[in-house]
Amino acid sequence: MTDTTLFSTYDLGGLTLANRVVMAPLTRNRAGAGLVPSEYAAEYYAQRASAGLLITEATQVSPQAQGYQDTPGLYTPEQIAGWRKVTDAVHAKGGRIFVQLWHVGRISHVDLLGGNAPVAPSAIRAETKTFVNNSFTDVSEPRALDLDEIPAIINSFRQAAANAITAGFDGVEVHGANGYLLDQFAKDGANQRTDIYGGSIENRARLMIEVTAAVAEEIGAHRTGIRLSPVSPSNGISSSNPQAQFDYIVARLDELGIAYIHVVEGATGGPRDIAPFDFPALRKAFRNSYIANNGYDLPLAEAHLANGEADLVAFGRPFIANPDLVQRLQSGTALAQIDPATIYGGGAKGYIDYPTANADSAA
């Protein structure tokens, strides 16, 4: 088979994508002073602009939302200007780019938050580590958000979405996955609240839906997506009823008419079959685009696109060492391997210096 629907164009909410390959969000911990995107970020993303859609590294919506050292924000004029360099560079290459907006909730450390405790739905510490002071360290004990603090959380996403459009992004992906704040509220392993944001499936889903609705209202549903991870145990998260929970969440997201759901099928960066879950049911319940993610190679992507289980397929870590991943997949060229020492933090090395296959052959 010389061609596949993976390399055909796609209409995402009126935005024409050159192919159905999506670059998944990849945290690289390279933001500069003021948590402005790295001086190399524009080149990094432009090198990968042949993907149908680029989704940026997770980007915090406020100072309180930060959970890792040197991750960029989108809440100051300087950060907006830094991201504008990135979007201009990507668009100059004919690419499309969404920013992923996050609030990490309890996955943070007091050293990143001016000595303040991380916030969470409930005061339950996660069994995980974060990257701070140039090393991986246990996360700090969180405090439970007061009910009257939640509107400000919602507004921080709304404002960051408005800032994203000012910065030239084609749209926004809300980070509702991987054990961060919205996922923490949704899952009962982290949420033991007894108010309107806790208890029932409907209540635990409330913040995720309200944030997504606010973003869609601000920038348009056709420019809004969300990432979900129904069964991933990332960052110490757990749920006693993931199928019922995410059937409900996706039904509510469908009502909002947003452009896409981006679903981590299985454990983030791990096994696809970690727990029983009917992912095709989510695809059927959502009228717009479904981005499939986790452990995809070309044959699996082709199969899921062909049988309608996905509209787009996201690839993550392969994009780090293969800026020309689309071309390599299409030509059957072997993939370059990542240097693990340069994934997190640092400068140009391991960031913008991975060669394309053409450069390899020319050398």
Active site residues: 180
d(CA 68, CA 13): 32
d(CA 130, CA 181): 15
d(CA 203, CA 200): 5
End-to-end CA gap in the chain: 30
d(CA 179, CA 235): 5
d(CA 310, CA 174): 19
**SS3 state at 123:** coil
Q: DSSP state, 13? A: T
- Which amino acid, one-letter code, is at 297? D
- Which amino acid, one-letter code, is at 32? G
Distances (CA, A) of 30 to 36, 79, 144: 9, 13, 30
d(CA 95, CA 78): 23
d(CA 48, CA 146): 42
d(CA 268, CA 317): 11
- Copy the structure tokens of residue 117: 């405790």
- Copy the structure tokens of residue 275: 């727990």
**SS3 state at 295:** coil
DSSP bridge pairs for 173:
100, 225
Distances (CA, A) of 87 to 30, 64, 138, 159, 361: 17, 25, 34, 18, 30
Angle, helices 242-256/201-219, rounded to nearest 10 degrees: 30
Contacts of 151 by beta carbon, 8 Å cutoff, 6+ apart: none
Closest CA to 76 of 66, 88, 90, 89: 66
